[in-house]
Structure formats: C-alpha cells, structure tokens
Chain A
C-alpha cells in the first residue's frame, strides 16, 4: 500500500560543514541518514526522522538542522494536520495508534498559572546560603497524636510510628519499568536515588537482581501483570507500591511489546523471550475498595509490616473520593499521576483524552482527606508532567508530601520527548532494550546527571522556601496561602483552594 503520510520533519544538512564522518548515520537508529559512496554524500530519509536530535547533538561540525515539515494541509481548526495525519496512519494500519511519553495537548498547565509568595518587610526572608533550610521528607502514615508516659521526669514515647520512607529531598523517580527503559537507565536511577538519599520506583517490570543492593532506596511496584513479583523482590525494596493506574493511560494496563522482551527482561519479568507483556486493565483481584484492602494487607503481611505500602492511581474525575477510600483501606502513601504523566507505550487516543490535570486532582484529594480528618494517615505523592523545581514547590504547597518525576529525569539523560519510546529504538539508549543502543547510556555519567538534577532542584527549592520565610518543608506542605492564581476562573481557584493574585 502506498503510504499517504508525508514526512513530519525535514532534515537539513549544510554540505559545506559536513565532513562525511557518518556519525549521524551511525547514531540514527531509525536509519534516517545514509552515506552515498558514489557521490560521497550523506543523505537523509526525512520520513524516518522523529526529531530526537541525536544526530544534531553528535554532529561534530553542527551541520544538521531538523525542521518541522513546512508543507501543511489547508488550515482548518477541526481537521488539523495532526488529525489528518493520525487518520491516514490508522487507515494504513487498521490498528490502535500507539505513542510514547505524556499527553502533548494544550490542556491548561495549572503550574504555569500559579505564582509563589515571598517575604517583604513584615517577615524576613531566610538566606539558605547562610542558614539551615530543611527539605527532609518522611513518607508514610502518621498518627493523629503521640501518646507519652511521664515517668519520674522522663518522657517515654508510647506511640510506635508506622514505617516511613526518608527522602533527603521531596523528589523521587517515578515508576519506569525495566523493559520500557534499559538496564543502564534502571541502574542509574537506583544509584542516583541511593547517592542523593531518595527513591526510585521499579515500575511494573520487576527488578534485576544486580540492583537489589540499592534496595534501601527502591520502591518495588506490584501491577496487574505481576511481572517480576516474588518474595525476594518484595523483600528487596524499601516500600511496595500497588499500581492501579497511570496518568498516561488511565483504565488500561501496561504494554511492553515482545520486541523489547530480551533474555534479561524475560528473566526479570518471568515471561518467555519475545512475548508481549500485556498487563491486564484492572488488577483482577481488585474489583472493589475492599479488595484493595486485602491486597494492601497481603503485601503488609508479606513484608512483616516493615515497609509502607503505596497505592498509585491515575488522576481521574473522582480521585478525591477514591483516595479517601484508599486511605481507609490502609494505604500509607497515595500516589496520584496526572493526565500529563508519561509512558513507554500507550494508545494515543487514551493518552491524549483520559484523566485530569494533576494540580486539580492533588488539590481536591488533599482537601478531601483534610475534610474527613484523615490526611495524617497517608502521605500524598504527586506526579505527571512536573518539569521544574517551581512545579515541585507549587505541588507541595497545594498539599503534596513529595513528587515523582519521570520525564524530567529522562530528559536529564538526553531524552528530547520525541514520543517514540514505543518503537524500542530510542536513539538516546533510554527507552530501549536493544543491547547495542542501550550502551549509549553510561551508568556512571547518567548517575551523575541525575544527581545533578536532584541537587539543582533541591537548591532551587531551598531558595524559594527561604524567600517565603520558611525553613522547613513541613511549613510549606499544604500551605496554599502562599500561592496565588493568575488567569484562572473562580471555579478553578476554588478547586485549587488558592486566591487570585492581588487578592
């Protein structure tokens, strides 16, 4: 069938600069570039290009520029280029259109409509370069009160706190499954989390035994496919997370194409080489809130009540009520993943149309748990499109205890959010299991880049807190008075629980 799809991108090569070194040819895993020996020229197949910038970055003479194809369909707000392109693609494949990363639609990013307060005159700002600034965060259930006994002037604490995760910064690496991303990336995430004193989440593909030594800084995930879940795996982690849903694809399970299931993946996931790893849409032992309670307590039993159990859901319309049920079912941590949360592979139609923005879900969940007087009983972790330290500060002020970052961490490793993760050909060596391509991520350098990201954001968070006159993160958490909205409707402000700037 002749394809009617036109190239999305045009590769321009400045021939005066090109030295025929063929780095681009070797780097492009989509075979966009090729060398024509007869003419001694490097040429491009524009239709293969995904705009990942691998060739642009590695071209030693900066000879390459990638441009969006300037040839557009006739302008039409409804029948946009994207709509026409997707339709043609579908007509040629007869399949669900699959894509990678998070929703790219211009639904409002509320972070960018929220501004942060600072101290002036009546309240001094605090200088984090010269004074302590505490961002240590503990995740897990907290009691409503502490019981003490008074014994001859000695205070004896009677309350035993539930197990807690200790984060040196309120930022964790979100669930990125082994198989969706390479072993080297999993390794770098585990090492960076360990080095900085935070946590990485295994995602639903299990954990390679070589990484068990980083277990004190790993949250092991249990998803509907139960891939790689066994007693040793549960023991290896510092916490266990039940994955009900994810922001990129609420209502459906994880998909790992068979092409990515290599020998190593097969061993860790406990499935045959080359088979698709399709997680069922629901957890088949959880059809109701009381079933969730059973799984939470089954996992607590399995881990001797020594680890917090987290439950992760996609942010959906009814998140607040669901979260309340989750806390009552015994979850120690609630992870909320908003509509911009990313994925290695998801149906485009679901990624782009299902779920709600994390800011709204977070605000309503935090409020609901407070209204019911159960906010202490679980920590709340927000995820889905958090792209800067300012987003982290805003999330915490809205009510989150900590955030998960995924895309931001991958961008630190080279990802350019080209949305081609599902192809398994990630030229940056991230979203791939191809042994040849994965070698592009050097675990030492990748660890350093991730630690740098955490350090940079943490310093920025401290600067912002200092400016607000706050020197402990617990005074920022849920402190919505220090946020103001711009360009938002009354309803949006009400749901976010913040005032309009100037008010």
Chain B
C-alpha cells in the first residue's frame, strides 16, 4: 500500500525524536485574541526548546474564507510547486493563491517557500467521496508524489505557521501579530536530529486536526503500519504525524467521541479494566482488542485541537508533564503551570491530569455531534 520509500523527510531519518514545550489556549466564548499571550507563554518555557523548531496553529483566522479548505503548503524548490499546483488546479476550485506574508528580518534558518491556497473540491472530481476524504487523499498525494512539497495544514478557517527557529522568531517571521484567533496551539521544539528541517516542526495537521506533541512513541512502528491500512501515508516519519492521523481516523471517519478516542490512545490497564462495571468493562475490552495498534506507547503529552475543541492528554503512565487550567472563559493546557501563570497569574482552577486522563475544552454552544450515523465506506 504505502511505498516505504515515499518520504518527505529529506534527511531520511528513521524517526524524529523530540522533547518539547506545549501550550494551548482557547477562549470558550469564541472571542478572538492575538498572538501576544500565546507567544509570551511559549517563550517562558525556553528550556524546553533548542531553537530548532517552533510553530503555531491558530483557529478562527480565515473567517472570510471559512467554507474553503485553507492549504498552507511548503515547497523545497519551485518544481514541486508547479506539480502541486497542477494537482490542485485539476481537483479543486482555487479561490485564492498567495505567498504567506513574512517578515524576512526574523532570525530563522533557511526558510522555504510557503504558499497559502483557499480551495474547494471540484464536484465532478469527487465521484461520491466525502469531501474530507477527498482532501485527505490529495494531501497525501501532494506529500508523496510531488517530491518536495509538504502540506502544513489543510483545515477550514485555521492555519499552521511553523519552521526552524525559536517560537518567537517563527511568530515574527510569519507576522502572527496580524492574526486573531479564538484558539492558539503552540510548540517549542528540542529535536535530537533533523536540524534545519522545516517540515519536522510542529504542529502537525490533517484537515481540522492539529497535534503538538512532546515525547517519543515507542509504538510508532505499529501505529504507522495500522494507519497505512486506512490510507494514511506517514511521510514525515514523526510520532506527531501518527497522532494527527489517528485522531482523524477515530474522530472524523469513525465518529467516535473524543474521550473514547483518548481511551484508545492511552487505555486503562487490564487490571483496571477487570475492576470495572460489566458494561464499562465490555466497552473497554473491546476498545483495546480492536484498537490495540493505536495505543500510543512510551512517553507523550499532546495537545490536539480541532474547530471548537481542544484536547490535552498524556500517556497512560504519564511520562511527560501536562497541566490544565481554567480562568473565566479561558481554557489552558500546557507543559508547565508556569507558562499558564505567566499569562494569567490568577486562575479559577489549575490541575495536573492523571496519566491517560483527557482534558477536553469546548467552545460554548458549539455543537459537536458525538455519534452521527457513520459514513459508509
């Protein structure tokens, strides 16, 4: 299915090893706010990064194009751009196509060309496929077939800005102070390899889903192979990428509720399952038996976000830190409490979730259908 040689990681590393700082902030009222506080918070965790990667996912920034898929695409050189744009022109109505505005005075290393496109699938190309699946398939094609193009983000009314540098430099480079969103998910990276590789920076995204991640999945090999059965090509060979695809599979394609998806990624121990009430035990047993290959093993803390929803989660024995807090309408999830306190010294509530215990924040009044009729495929 997935040719193992189809990689988009030019350094050909086996897998990216990361330690990182994570920060997520959402205003549940939907109020849009600028980059100041998120950037301040991520700077506060400087020791968690080493200047080899920083990035931001911002939701609610493209309200003028909220029905179009906003594609942020990185090009290593002009040829893949031509190929990717041909592929886009063939399959999508491209409403707008432009280079991402940047501040070239920022301290960043060898920035690639990054373009943004607002697109919608051409009706006659869908052949009955759900549009989301069609977009995923085309993202996979761009990542694997164009030889040097990589889709940073492909959701609606959101975008990802990331690259090599400290997060504040990345924020300057992409002129983030000009954007306002209701949710910011930030990442500062401490990679142990792939220096200077912009594609390796976080966040990772597919459609609506964004993931930032601290850790290294000891289960990566099987997570990837399982996802390949469902058509996901893990071209970046990073742990974070498999998390993003796993959430897309469970949440969007299989319509499983978020806390169930969290139970799949970080399930309870068998001895805990044995203690459960019969109904709950049956459910948890079935989840582990069915989705064992999506258990994310080894140390991780993640922030996963999609339109209207933010999730904080650690591995089931909590080998990486995660703190959550609430202040009024604001929900915070971060690697360190200090980062949260630095932008909001006063907090209504602050806590450290247990291993495998999900923290879920939602926009007020935002309807998320937990179980819709599953899409037949």
Contacts and interface: CB of A to CB of B under 8 A. Distances in A.
A481 B15 contact: yes
A430 interface: no
A482 B14 contact: no
Contact of A471 (B17, B221, B230, B297): B297
Interface in B211-234: 215-216, 218-222, 224-226, 228-230
Interface string A125-168: 01000011010101000110111111000010101010010000
Residue with the greatest number of chain A CB neighbours at <10 A, chosen from B192, B230, B295: B295
A157 B299 contact: no
A474 B292 contact: yes
Interface stretch (B39-47, B150-158, B282-290): B282-290
B282 A478 contact: no
Nearest to A503: B14
B224 to A, nearest CB: 8
B257 interface: yes
A142 B282 contact: no
A468 interface: yes
Nearest to A142: B290
Contact of A371 (B1, B15, B287, B317): B1
A159 B286 contact: yes
A123 B299 contact: yes
A375 interface: yes
Contacts of A132: 269, 271, 317
Contact of A478 (B17, B222, B270, B299): B222
Contacts of A469: 216, 218, 297-299
B172 interface: no
A149 B299 contact: no
Nearest to B1: A371
A216 to B, nearest CB: 18
Question: Nearest 9 CB-CB pairs, A to B?
Answer: A474-B292, A481-B221, A475-B219, A475-B297, A479-B221, A469-B218, A150-B371, A123-B216, A479-B222
A373 B227 CA distance: 10
B215 to A, nearest CB: 8
Contacts, number: 125
A481 B260 CA distance: 27
Interface in B1-37: 1, 14-15, 17-19
Given A134-B270, A147-B374, A474 B295 contact: yes
A442 B221 CA distance: 45
B218 A475 contact: yes
B257 A474 contact: no
A356 B290 CA distance: 31
A477 interface: yes
A499 interface: yes
Nearest to B296: A475
A362 to B, nearest CB: 14
Contacts of A480: 221, 225
A119 interface: yes
B205 interface: no
Contact of B293 (A136, A371, A478): A478
Contacts of A468: 218
16 contacts: A122-B17, A122-B19, A126-B317, A131-B317, A132-B271, A146-B287, A146-B290, A150-B371, A161-B290, A376-B290, A397-B221, A469-B297, A475-B298, A477-B293, A478-B221, A481-B15
A470 interface: yes
Interface residues of A, number: 46
Contacts of B297: 469-472, 475
Interface of B: 1, 14-15, 17-19, 192, 215-216, 218-222, 224-226, 228-230, 254, 256-257, 260, 267, 269-271, 282-283, 286-293, 295, 297-299, 316-317, 319, 370-371, 374
A218 B192 CA distance: 49
Nearest to A132: B269
B228 to A, nearest CB: 7
A134 B272 CA distance: 12
B218 A470 contact: yes
B218 to A, nearest CB: 4
Contacts of B319: 124
Nearest to A140: B289
B36 to A, nearest CB: 33
A213 interface: no
Contacts of B293: 474, 477-478
A146 B254 CA distance: 8
A164 B286 CA distance: 11
A149 B255 CA distance: 10
Contact of A124 (B17, B226, B289, B299): B299
A215 B248 CA distance: 43
Given A123-B216, A468-B218, A478-B222, A146 B256 contact: yes
A126 B282 CA distance: 28
Given A126-B317, A159-B286, 17 more contacts: A124-B319, A132-B317, A134-B269, A134-B270, A148-B256, A150-B370, A155-B257, A370-B225, A470-B219, A471-B316, A474-B293, A475-B298, A476-B222, A477-B222, A478-B222, A479-B219, A481-B14
A370 B226 CA distance: 8
A462 to B, nearest CB: 14
A390 B260 CA distance: 34
